[in-house]
Chain A
Amino acid sequence: MSDDDKNPTTPKAPQGSDVTSSADRPKKAAESSVLVGGSDDGGDAPTPGVTGESGEGGEPTTRSEDARSMLRQITESSTLVVILAIVASLIIGGILIILASEEVRTTAGYFFSRPGDMLSAMWNAVSSAYSAMWNGAFFNADADSFSGMIRPFINTLTMATPLIFAGLGLGIGFRAGLFNIGAQGQIIMGATLGAMVGFMWHLPPGLHLIVAVLGCALGGAIWGFIPGILKAKTGAHEVITTIMLNYIALNFLAYLLTLDAFQRPGSDNPQSPILDSSSQYPQVFGAQYPLHLGFFVALFAAWGVWWLMERSTLGFQFRAVGANPSASRTAGMSVAKSTVLVMVIAGALAGLAGSGQILGTQPSLTTGIAASFGFDAITVALLGRSRPLGIVFAAILFGGLKASGPALQVQAGLPIDIVLVVQSLIVLFIAAPPLVRFLFRLPTPKNEKEVAV
């Protein structure tokens, strides 16, 4: 630590870093700067406020002071907040599991005669649920073979693939100040176009996959272009238009599936023919594991998005428009162009999420093709603070939660919906670090309020 840091006259936490205080600022700018600003402050780097704090008392530094300030840095770091947010979510999820457990309710009836019964029933309910989740999502220690042990994690990565793609697209939108709720519709349209390439055209291997992947991206891009151009030309709010386009896409797909061209021969259900195997992502670790090439394409896309947003002029424009559209316009950037491009890129990425489904795990078109990936991706992007690396990890975490569904059902007899509860609580807690600090009685850093999603 330098002398400056210990100097008692060090100014208090800089009030000037208050990026969002002006209430008069245009709404859009404030909204996005909260999103962007929050993620900027989310890093682990000690901020001036944190280091300045240790010297505030003005006492000479001793060894124990040093240790205390280190402890303080740890307790004030946002990584700890993330971990504690996950812990708090699991605790609340556990309370819900206890409340819903039949055994707990039965034993509660004679709580005063044999309290141990109820406590052990509570413990059983929670531990069986969470161990089933762990076994189903990451590592199954009970399995006989090595492949059985790691299979859950492979499933998790497969499940994470659409979440990575769609989360990346939404993340770009958030950083550019666009709140795109339309990933669901973009996934559907991407999967639809990709599926049409997959079962209507019969191209040579290799080329077929590439064309199908491009078809997915194109379908999503078209569905992203519509709200983008409407926003740029008429100011129509993207939250409303994307929500509406989700429903339009779903109904459109339902309509297509009634047509003869989309009917699987010999089937009465609304489902398309199975895609040519030449158009599907190959399975990377052989047929016994579901993980397909799409996961690696997703990782590559994450790198591409990082490069776009951090290293390219275009990405700089996106971020500038997101942080302050008026200033960007003054600087000669076209806000309209940026809006349309961001939505097209976000749509294309969501369309690729559709490819993770239709060309990867579910090679036949049904109305359930998008599952709930479009909505889950919103929480993924928020948890990942709109940064590619964060999104990859968040997608793997939530992919794991999703993948644990069957295990949860079979081992613990619980519906998978508990996963939604835990997932949404995690995002809520991470968005409000002061609440987490309050719950765990952690000290309040000086720049507390700025660390908000």
Chain B
Amino acid sequence: MSAVVEASQGTAPEPSPEDAPVTAAKRWRTPIILGVVALVSLIVFGLGSKAGETTSFSISRASDFFTVDTFTLPTRTTAIVASLLALALAAYSAWAVSQSRKTGWWLPVVFGIAVMFALLAWAGGGRGATDIQITGLLTGAVVLSVPLVFGSLSGVVCERSGIINIAIEGQLLAGAFLAAVVGSATGNPYIGLIAAPVAGALVGMLLALFTVKYWVNQIVVGVVLNVLVIGVTSFLFGTLLRDNANLNQNLGMADLPIPLLSKIPIIGPVLFDHNLLVYLMYAAVGVLSVMLFKSRWGLRVRAVGEHPTAADTVGIKVNRTRVRNTILGGALAGLGGAFFTVASGLAFGKEMTAGTGFIALAAMILGRWRPSGALAASVMFGFAIALKDQLGIIGSPIPSQLLAMLPYIVTIFAVAGLVGHARPPAAEGIPYKK
């Protein structure tokens, strides 16, 4: 019975007779999909690569404490072994389901690493001097996930209080714009970094005004605010910034390697050798994880998002909480927008966020409305983008357009229930009217 209840929570309420088979199918869905992916990996990457070829991987840099030489593995054997490992994990998952056991979060992670390793071995096979840069790949994943992490944290903060934030894209773009303009005007990228959350918060304020005060459909406001921000920034880009080139310069923020930690092979360059924004991202994820689930503020926010009437009864100001959270969320996304300009050393370009906000939205849902989950999902997307770039450099056998689809397909599978049930905050999207 409890399984039935669990299954019916996430989806729209279904008539109860349909629930039992659905639940049964759901339990087997994960092992089946893992098995299919592992088999495809075995056939395409393992058996599909030529026997005599080798793949070389390089992992360390000269500045590390100790260096690990570039190592070369036989392509076919590596891909087959990795695929078999993935297959074994799928089998273990099937066994766990038959025993009604739960598998930990490690299983999909190890599975993903195994399949990725098979893919890299296959893609890098027979390329001669071209190495697969594992450290570079992972560093790219962390850096590229920065706007996604801030964007999805913004979504978490807003939606936990009951406001759907589709305007993440607009908040990122506004942050990118103001960071570039203020940074260029003052000649200091760090002042631009301070300005970015202000722009995002302004968009958040508009969202709060229309959804909380005027009860307009939250998705509608979000979609329209995105168009508004694209319009305003592109218009000012085509007029103000065109006439005054000094307002839109390439600024860069220096990397601040953390002493000692940044010297560790792989982990050092991947995690501890970045500019300020990346460290701010670590801090934001950590602080929000704790605050949301361990603090009084977090409890109140979640109460407002789940059951505003009950929250109001015990004296929590529902609409005030929502307004504050929406503005805070906007500020977070705005800060993430700084990634595109001052933190990457680029000038502002028209519509330069190019849909990142929507991927952040998907990352938030994949991460089940939790800061840590949002981080994991964002890094996954970041890795996919970095992988696409890396394979583009070494000349991939897969067309880059098809590879670019991968994260979106994964997201669809995920929201369709592969990763398990995601239940949004119950009062999300409903204006609170006393």
Contact = CB atoms under 8 A, between A and B. Distances in A.
Interface stretch (A149-157, A277-285, A430-438, A439-447): A430-438
Interface in A170-221: 179, 181
B412 interface: yes
A378 B217 CA distance: 13
Interface stretch (B30-38, B185-193, B235-243): B235-243
Contacts of B433: 18, 20-21, 23, 449
Interface residues of A, number: 66
Contact of B401 (A18, A35, A258, A452): A258
Contacts of B227: 375, 379, 420, 423-424
A27 B432 contact: no
A102 B242 CA distance: 10
A378 B223 contact: yes
Interface string B358-391: 1001100100000000000000000000000000
A417 B429 contact: no
Interface string A61-103: 0000000000000000000000000000000000010011110
B210 A251 contact: no
Secondary structure at the A interface, as helix, strand, loop or mixed, is: helix
Interface stretch (B5-13, B89-97, B262-270): B5-13
Contacts of B235: 96, 100, 414-415, 417-418, 420-421
B205 to A, nearest CB: 13
- Tell me which of B227, B409, B424 has the highest count of chain A C-beta atoms within 10 A of its own C-beta: B227
A248 B408 contact: yes
A100 B429 contact: no
B286 interface: no
Interface string A399-437: 000000000000000110111111111011001101100
B361 A432 contact: no
Nearest to B310: A23
Contacts of B12: 26, 28, 235, 325, 335
Instruction: Summarize B's interface: helix, strand, loop or mixed.
Output: helix
Interface string B198-221: 000000000000100011110111
B294 to A, nearest CB: 27
A142 to B, nearest CB: 24
A389 interface: no
Contacts of A26: 12-13
A243 B308 contact: no
A301 interface: no
A382 B214 contact: no
A244 B408 contact: yes
Interface in B311-367: 350, 355, 358, 361-362, 365
Contacts of B424: 27
A430 B238 CA distance: 28
B217 A31 contact: yes
Interface residues of B, number: 59
Interface in B223-241: 223-225, 227-228, 230-232, 234-240
A255 B396 CA distance: 14
A34 B217 contact: yes
Contacts of A415: 234-235, 237-239
B309 interface: yes
Contacts of B176: none
B15 interface: yes
Interface in B386-422: 399, 401-402, 404-405, 408-409, 411-412, 415-417
B426 interface: yes
Given A247-B355, A428-B210, A418 B361 contact: no
A311 interface: no
Top 4 A-B pairs, shortest CB-CB distance: A235-B11, A420-B231, A415-B238, A100-B239
Interface of A: 18, 20-21, 23-28, 30-31, 34-35, 96, 99-102, 179, 181, 230, 234-237, 239-241, 243-245, 247-248, 251-252, 254-255, 258, 325-326, 329, 335, 375, 378-379, 382, 414-415, 417-425, 427-428, 431-432, 434-435, 449, 452-453
Given A27-B428, A245-B412, 8 more contacts: A100-B236, A240-B362, A241-B412, A243-B358, A244-B412, A415-B235, A428-B221, A435-B210
Interface of B: 10-13, 15, 166, 210, 214-217, 219-221, 223-225, 227-228, 230-232, 234-240, 243, 308-309, 350, 355, 358, 361-362, 365, 399, 401-402, 404-405, 408-409, 411-412, 415-417, 424, 426-433
